[in-house]
A = this chain, B = another copy of it.
Amino acid sequence: MIRSLIIGAVSFASVACAHAQTDEAAPPFIIPADIAETAQTLKSTALESNLGFRIIEDLTTQIGPRLAGTPQEARAREWGMAKLKELGFENVREEPFELDLWTRGHSVYEEVTLTAPYPQPLYAISLGGGGATPEEGSEAEVVYFASYDALKADTVSDLAGKIVFVGDRMTASRTGEGYGWANRKRRDAWVMAEDRGATALFIRSVGTSNNRFAHTGMMSFPEGRHPKIPALSVSNPDADQIERIAKSGEVMKIKLKTFAGWRGKSMSGNVIGEIVGREKPDEIVVIGGHLDSWDTGTGALDDGAGVGITMAAAKLIANLPENPRRTIRVVLFGSEEVGLVGARAYAAARIEDETLANHVMGSESDFGAGEVWRFGSNVGPDALPAMDAIGRELADLGIIRGDNESGGGPDMIPLAMAGVPMGRLDQNGEDYFEYHHTPNDTLDKIDEDELQQNIAAWSVFTYLAAELDVDFRAGEAEAE
């Protein structure tokens, strides 16, 4: 997922600034007893159900990696359609869209060797969007920058014909907030390197892991420009090696061979299924995850988990004696990793079919499969007491009430920017970046107990958002 984009969207879409818990003036919202009871029943059922895990197991076993625009992603859409139908969802459909295809073009490996001063292989991997070397590979001297800021501040180094290396180590946190900072070098260091004549960019892996895998992910492309040079991420232990040699002052050279590149247009799509509302079928609570994943792992945490969590939560709600008042729509977004392409296509289609205003609440799960620890929101001030009430239903799962300035997840950004109210179930991401965007993003990294707590929270939140007679947009704050 593209965590760094969330922040911007949040402040843009923020419709109420007061911290939920400090809004002393508003009278408490009381959830009707029968609805509260149903929510509690759902929670208990979810805590006993292994449906979510089974969905993630199916997706990672039967499809595995599913890079946007590839046949593997197309197979994942078929899988998604079949799974939604199998679980009894209604209006199951695919919304196709076009995208620019980038692939590694080789295998999940890149050939990277430190050739001087101390020859040995390095474990590195192309960043999404990077270019290829000549077929026989290329070799160049390394110019070392300890950080993104050091590269940015540099005006004197001769980078022509050189490999630019950028350090900066990410630190772990529950909220994952170090990611955006560490990720700056992944996004646009290539522009500085290429503009100054460098032959390749290498960055220290953005993830927190000391495993000998490098973290991949898409670069940013100003004005739609794509890099001509290869851009690679180097595992943390290998980046340590580069750092040690840089400190020694010895001339360092790297040889690499990559086949990465842009392959023209390809097709992708969003997969949609619904639990149709019994009273207000046109009002939509939209939840989901993204179906595409990076090609090196099997996309269990990013974002098989989001697919499994939201599909299972919706299915558990569908198992109730009657559907909730509003429609719950589960969207399995395509092509998130490569720039929220599916999310933009979804929002554009809703503008096209004039149903954007029907979206009463949105939330995506895209931060792994860990325990939910905080419930945030981004709703109109009149709806805050209702969100606080939903928060109270979640408290015995160990979930605290957050503020009202939350984003709803990366694929919700276009909707949030269009004013759709958002809920947010924040998951513990302390170890998320140990696995994220690496070969290690596999099923065995998911703790089934934590997943059940997570799905229980999603069931309660989604059910109440769909059932309660609340206008979540109500009382929008004036723009400043």
Contact = CB atoms under 8 A, between A and B. Distances in A.
Contacts of A57: 244
B444 A240 contact: yes
A91 interface: no
A187 interface: no
Given A107-B111, A245-B61, A444 B120 contact: no
A12 interface: no
A440 B211 contact: yes
Q: Which of A63, A210, A212, A241 has the most B CB atoms < 10 Å from its CB?
A: A212
A221 interface: no
A72 B120 contact: yes
Nearest to A213: B212
A109 interface: yes
**Copies of this chain, tallied across the complex:** 2
Contacts of A244: 57, 61
Contact of A443 (B65, B240, B438, B445): B240
Interface in A104-124: 107-109, 111, 117-121, 123
A237 B62 contact: no
The A contact surface, by secondary structure, is: loop
Interface residues of A, number: 37
Nearest to A445: B210
A236 interface: yes
A65 to B, nearest CB: 6
A248 to B, nearest CB: 8
A406 B444 CA distance: 37
B107 A444 contact: no
A298 interface: yes
A380 B449 CA distance: 54
Contacts of A365: none
Interface in A221-257: 236-237, 240-241, 244-245
A120 B64 contact: yes
A208 interface: no
Given A111-B107, A212-B442, A445-B210, A298 B65 contact: no
A237 to B, nearest CB: 4
A116 to B, nearest CB: 12
Given A57-B244, A240-B444, 19 more contacts: A61-B118, A61-B241, A62-B117, A63-B120, A64-B121, A107-B111, A107-B121, A123-B439, A210-B442, A210-B445, A211-B440, A212-B213, A212-B297, A212-B438, A212-B439, A212-B442, A236-B444, A237-B440, A237-B444
5 contacts: A64-B119, A72-B120, A211-B440, A237-B442, A240-B443
